[in-house]
Structure 1
Amino acid sequence: MILTEEIKRIKSTEKEARKFGIQVGLVFMIITLILFISDKGNSHYFFIVGGVLIILGQLFPQLLIIPNKLWMSLGVVLGYFSSRIILFVLFYFILTPIGIAAKIFGKNFLEKKINIEKKSYWNIRNNHYNKSQTEKQF
C-alpha cells in the first residue's frame, strides 16, 4: 500500500526531532500568547507544553524522535484522505455539472465528432508567423 511506504520514508533523525520540538513548541507558545492576550483561561497549559517541547528539542532531541514520527505519520494519513475528498468534491460537484451543462447545450470541447464531408480536420490559423514569437517563449 502506498500509505505505509510513505510513512516508512519519514525521516526520524535527531536533527528532525530537534526541528519538530522547536517548531511545535513555538506554535504552543504563540497559542499561549493569543490566549493570554484575549484573557482566556488555561493558557498556562499551552505554555508548559510549549516550554517542555522547546527544552526537549534543544537538550534531548532523541526523546522526540517517536513523537515526531507519529506526528508526521498523522500528517501523511490526513493528507492521503483529504486529497481524495477534495478531488471527489471537485470532480463530482464542479466538473460533472459543467460536463452535463455542456452536453445539454450541445457544446463539444474536443470536437471529436467525425464529419465525413470534411476533407481535412486541420485548423487554419489566421495570424502570421513572427520570428519574435519563438525567441522569448516565456
Structure 2
Amino acid sequence: MEVGVLGALLCLIVYLFYSENVIWIWISISSLGLVLLLPKFFQPLAFLWFGLGKVLGLVSTRVLLTITFFLLVIPVGYIRKLLGKDELRLKRFKKSRESVFFVREHVFGPDDLKNTF
C-alpha cells in the first residue's frame, strides 16, 4: 500500500517540477485508485522495495561503523599508547601475572546506592 502512495507522490512531483505532461497526473490518480481498490496489487513491488531497504541498511551500517572504527577508535588508541596511558594496567599485568584488581576494605551502606552514576 505504501509503495502505491509513494508512486503517486513521485508522479505528482515529476508533474509539478519536471514535466507538465498530464499523463503524470493520470498515473498518480490511477495508482491511488489501485491502492484503494486492490491493496495487494503493489505487494510484489513492496517486497522488492523493502528488501532493498534491508540490504542497504545492513551495508550502510557496517560501512559507517567500519569508518568510525578506523577514523576514531584506532587513532585514539594509538595516541593514548604514545602518551603512556595504561588505564587497564596491561603492562603491570603482563609483568607480574597477578590480578590487577584493587583490594578494597569497604563496607557498603545506603549512601553508596544514592548516586550510583
TM over 0.5: yes
Structure with max Cα Rg: 2
Question: Kindly, what percent of the aligned residue pairs are identical?
Answer: 21
Alignment partners' CA distance in 2, 1:96 and 1:87: 12
Q: Counterparts of 2:88 and 2:109 in 1: how far apart (Å)?
A: 28
Q: What amino acid is the match of 2:63?
A: I
The aligned counterpart of 1:42 is 19
Matched residues, number? 113
What is the aligned-residue RMSD (CA, Å)? 3.9
Cα distance, 1:110–1:67 mapped onto 2, change above 3 Å: same
CA–CA distance in structure 1, aligned partners of residues 113 and 25 of structure 2: 59
Is there any run of 5+ residues in structure 1 with no aligned partner, and where? 1-17
Q: Is the contact made by 1:32 and 1:47 (CA closer than 8 Å) also made in structure 2?
A: no
Q: Which residue, 58, 69, 79 being the options, matches 1:80?
A: 58
Report the TM-score when normalising by structure 2: 0.67
Greater RCO structure (CA 8 Å; 6+ sep): 1
2:13 to 2, 16, 32: 32
1:7-37 deviation per Cα after TM superposition (whole angstroms, max 9, x unaligned): xxxxxxxxxxx24433x247x26x729x84x
- Give the CA deviation at 1:60: 1.1
How much has 1:79 moved relative to structure 2?
Answer: 0.9
Distance 2:31 2:111 in 1: 58
> What TM-score comes out, normalization by structure 1 length?
0.58
Counterpart in 2 of 1:134? 113
